[in-house]
Amino acid sequence: MIRIARVLVALAVAGCTVGAAAPAGSGYAEHARLPALLETLRDDYGFDATDLAVVRRTLADAERLPELIRQERNAPERTRTWSEYRGLHVTDSMVARGVAFMRDHAGTLARAEAEYGVPPELITAILGVETRYGGFVGTTRVLDALATQGFDHPTRSRFFLSELAAFFALTRETGMDPTEPVGSYAGAMGWAQFMPSNYRRLAVDFDGDGDTDLWSAADAIGSVARYLVAYDPDTAWRRGEPMVLAPREFRVRADATDFNTRSPNSSIGALAALGAKPTASVADTTPAGLLALQLDAGRAFRIALTNFYAVMRYNPRVYYAMAVGELAEGISRATDHAAGRFTP
């Protein structure tokens, strides 16, 4: 089990004050947006003067990494076609590794399904797409990622600064040294790649060892399952339902409805009236939305159900959710389940 080194950070900065200046030009200790971050930590998280001194000293150690902003803005789910993105994640090798992961963690996955209703294949697929089943959790210090994105991102600074605040709250609560954890270019952590706010709100100690550790398989499995049912009650995972259906035919005009929305914007009955009737029998009142997937040539169309949007709460990109669904479907079929449990 991979563990993050934990230290009593306050001891390292004993005697510091909030106004203590960092060496000129180092880190983000003198950034113009720092006062707003410190105010948030004081007002929203109850940080006192000693806590804020830790933050300032820690930010003096943060490294500016502008290439992370380029990575975030050019992420594959933003820039690739569906054909290209699918090829990154839905492969025979990924399916085989997913089957092996399910075998190795069968008991934990079964308990997660019993408690949260999320199938083992789906939890496994998310961990596969996120970190290759825990094999690659990122190499960038979370401190550097969140500081760079939070202080310097041209369009998403507010979001990343809020996550930086949540990160400092998380490290204070758990005793993590904020200079130690590594993760993605966006500051996501562990096998499950949770952002700090979601780590604090939704991660669970699923193995009962007293430590909520997303660098462990058991806690990652339980936390993914909880995330899908607890993040947003309106799109919580629905036990036993698929994510995506295929239309029997597709006659919807491009201007008749919005495609690729982040929440269901229609219903099965309304979409059928527009010319997208599903091949499966589903109640007309079922919430749904239309997906348009860009192929190397042309587009493919699908009907998304609530469980598709539950996965989009994990990562709000259509291609991400489709890749998770198709990988889960591949793993499911490889373990002799009937076709169509997740995607057509």
Three-state helix/strand/coil letters over the chain: CCCCCECCHHHHCCCCCCCCCCCCCCCCCCCCCHHHHHHHHHHHHCCCHHHHHHHHHHHHCCCCCCHHHHHHHCCHHHHCCHHHHHHHHCCHHHHHHHHHHHHHCHHHHHHHHHHHCCCHHHHHHHHHHHHCCCCCCCCEEHHHHHHHHHHHCCCCHHHHHHHHHHHHHHHHHHCECCCCCEECCCCCECCCCECHHHHHHHCCCCCCCCCCCCCCHHHHHHHHHHHHHHCCHHHCCCCCCCCEECEEEECCCCCCCCECCCCCCEEHHHHHHHCEEECCCCCCCCEEEEEEEECCCCEEEEEECHHHHHHHCCCCCHHHHHHHHHHHHHHHHHCCCCCCCCCC
Torsion of CA 209, 213, 216, 220, to 10 degrees: 110
CB atoms near residue 42 (< 10 Å): 16
> What span, in angstroms and rounded, lies between the C-alpha atoms of 313 and 28?
31
* Choice among 130, 163, 326, 329 that is catalytic: 130
Whether 130 sits among the annotated catalytic residues: the reply is: yes
The residues assigned a catalytic role are 130
